[in-house]
């Protein structure tokens, strides 16, 4: 027997959405009667949006519940790494507690797919990872969560490779890395270590790359080369890639060709404080681009975190002056799977909000009234009233 969500608004028209075993099996105009006896819930004309994908975040760095944490003024990432350790050491609450509150807020915001980078190094060992693995299990019926082992302090430093291996044996599914040149100081050796870990554990890769300009360019080109050599096309991603915002048009086109050939997506947090990849241009060139919150709450890096992917897409639209309805709808393609219309056979993951249409929701960031995961109401302001 199907379950129906009736009178959900999509593109200013109303539909009945039929669900069975967690998937969408029918989409009918609301003028059509649904079979008597099927269970139903009335969406009361609220707008239906697909749930969001957040391709880059850090649950373990969150300061949620810690009150105000003051940060010193810093200019360089190496200073930042030191200060992050000091600030984290002074926190009163556990990683599990802070990451748990953060994950709950992410689910309430309508994100159903989340890639989480988790710090792994000799100081914290697997402590952060254990907390996130526990949350992954606890939230398995609410969100699809991928865990990246992330050597924030450097992969080649501090004997982190050993800890990365431990992490990959204990719940981490992907290999992370950070600034092979800028932090590790040896781009080729660091990237080789990343790809060796990938080969040993048959794990995909997602690398943080903040290194600028020509250093960043050389790193991306090397990653494309190593991806091809390892036959890892479609299993490697590059986060941030600020350098793409500094390179010439011709250089970006050259790099884009390699990214497309190896199916390497760029993942951006849409920064406003640093150059960022030319997302619209990369899309034109065929490069996949995903967005991530990066800082779902205040953390060591910024007091201005947010776990709302709709807000992230809004920032992207605002930056590129996507003010027409068509462009604003396109912004959703960076935070989930287009199109906005429900697809028969796909998981019944969506939310209901008070907005006229998708463009209106992007502009107004409405409260998520109800969030459904695999056809089950799991979150949202109206969760309890249901
Ligand atoms: Zn990050």
Could you report the average pLDDT of every consecutive run of 10 residues in the chain (386 residues)? 93 94 95 91 96 97 92 86 88 96 97 97 94 98 98 87 97 97 96 98 98 97 98 98 97 98 98 92 98 93 94 96 95 86 93 96 97 95 68
- Length of the chain counted residue by residue: 386
Tally the domains of the chain: 2
Ligand 1 centroid, distance to 267 Cα (angstroms): 10
Ligand 1 centroid, distance to 380 Cα (angstroms): 27
pTM to 2 decimals?
0.96
Ligand 1 centroid, distance to 208 Cα (angstroms): 6
- Radius of gyration of the chain measured on its C-alpha atoms: 21
Do both 185 and 255 map to the same domain? yes
Ligand 1 centroid, distance to 152 Cα (angstroms): 9
Do both 375 and 294 map to the same domain? no
Q: What domain range is 363 assigned to?
A: 3-50+340-379
Ligand 1 centroid, distance to 112 Cα (angstroms): 19
Ligand 1 centroid, distance to 262 Cα (angstroms): 22
pLDDT score of 375:
95
- 1 to 35, 40, 350, 376: CA distances (angstroms): 10, 11, 20, 15
Which residues line ion ligand 1, judged by CB < 5 Å?
294
The two three-digit tokens of residue 265, written as one number: 């997506």
Ligand 1 centroid, distance to 81 Cα (angstroms): 12
pLDDT score of 29:
95
- β-pairing, 23-29 with 350-353? unpaired
The domain boundary, picked from 298, 315, 332, lies at 332
Domain CATH number, residue 37: 2.30.40.10
Ligand 1 centroid, distance to 301 Cα (angstroms): 10
pLDDT score of 150:
97
Ligand 1 centroid, distance to 306 Cα (angstroms): 13
Ligand 1 centroid, distance to 294 Cα (angstroms): 5
The domain boundary, picked from 332, 355, 371, lies at 332
**Do residues 151 and 178 make contact, with C-beta atoms less than 8 angstroms apart?**
yes
DSSP label at residue 244: G
Do both 37 and 78 map to the same domain? no
Ligand 1 centroid, distance to 290 Cα (angstroms): 13
Do both 31 and 62 map to the same domain? no
Do both 22 and 74 map to the same domain? no
pLDDT score of 338:
64
Domain CATH number, residue 278: 3.20.20.140
pLDDT score of 385:
56
CB atoms within 10 A of CB 356: 12
pLDDT score of 80:
87
Ligand 1 centroid, distance to 292 Cα (angstroms): 9
pLDDT score of 386:
45
Do both 86 and 186 map to the same domain? yes
Whether residue 262 is contained in a domain is answered as yes
């Amino acid at each position: 027997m199907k379950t129906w969500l009736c009178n959900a608004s999509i593109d200013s028209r109303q539909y009945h959405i039929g669900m069975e075993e967690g998937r969408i099996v029918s989409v009918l105009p609301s003028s059509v009667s649904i079979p008597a006896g099927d269970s139903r819930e009335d969406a009361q004309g609220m707008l239906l949006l697909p749930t969001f994908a957040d391709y880059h975040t850090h649950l373990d760095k969150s300061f949620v519940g810690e009150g105000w944490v003051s940060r010193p003024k810093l200019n360089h990432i190496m200073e930042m790494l030191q200060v992050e350790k000091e600030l984290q050491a002074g926190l009163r609450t556990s990683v599990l507690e802070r990451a748990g509150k953060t994950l709950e807020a992410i689910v309430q915001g309508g994100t159903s797919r989340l890639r989480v980078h988790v710090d792994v190094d000799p100081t914290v060992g697997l402590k952060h990872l254990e907390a996130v693995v526990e949350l992954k299990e606890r939230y398995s019926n609410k969100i699809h969560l991928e865990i990246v082992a992330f050597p924030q302090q450097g992969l080649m430093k501090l004997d982190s490779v050993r800890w990365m291996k431990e992490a990959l044996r204990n719940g981490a599914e992907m290999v992370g890395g950070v600034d092979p040149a800028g932090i590790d100081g040896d781009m080729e050796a660091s990237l080789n270590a990343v790809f060796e870990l990938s080969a040993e554990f048959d794990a995909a890769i997602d690398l943080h790359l903040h290194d600028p300009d020509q250093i960043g360019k050389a790193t991306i080109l090397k990653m494309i080369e190593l991806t091809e050599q390892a036959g890892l096309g479609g299993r490697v991603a590059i986060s941030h890639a600020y350098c793409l915002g500094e390179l010439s048009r011709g250089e970006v086109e050259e790099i884009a060709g390699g990214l497309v050939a190896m199916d390497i997506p760029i993942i951006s947090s849409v920064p406003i404080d640093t150059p960022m990849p030319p997302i619209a241009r990369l899309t034109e060139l065929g490069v996949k681009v995903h967005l991530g919150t990066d800082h779902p709450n205040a953390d060591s890096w910024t007091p201005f975190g947010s776990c709302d992917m709709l807000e992230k897409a809004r920032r992207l639209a605002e930056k590129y002056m996507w003010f027409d309805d068509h462009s604003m709808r396109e912004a959703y393609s960076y935070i989930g799977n287009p199109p906005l219309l429900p697809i028969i056979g796909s998981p019944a993951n969506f939310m209901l909000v008070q907005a006229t249409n998708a463009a209106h929701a992007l502009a107004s960031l409405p409260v998520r009234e109800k969030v459904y995961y695999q056809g089950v109401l799991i979150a949202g302001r109206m969760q309890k009233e249901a």
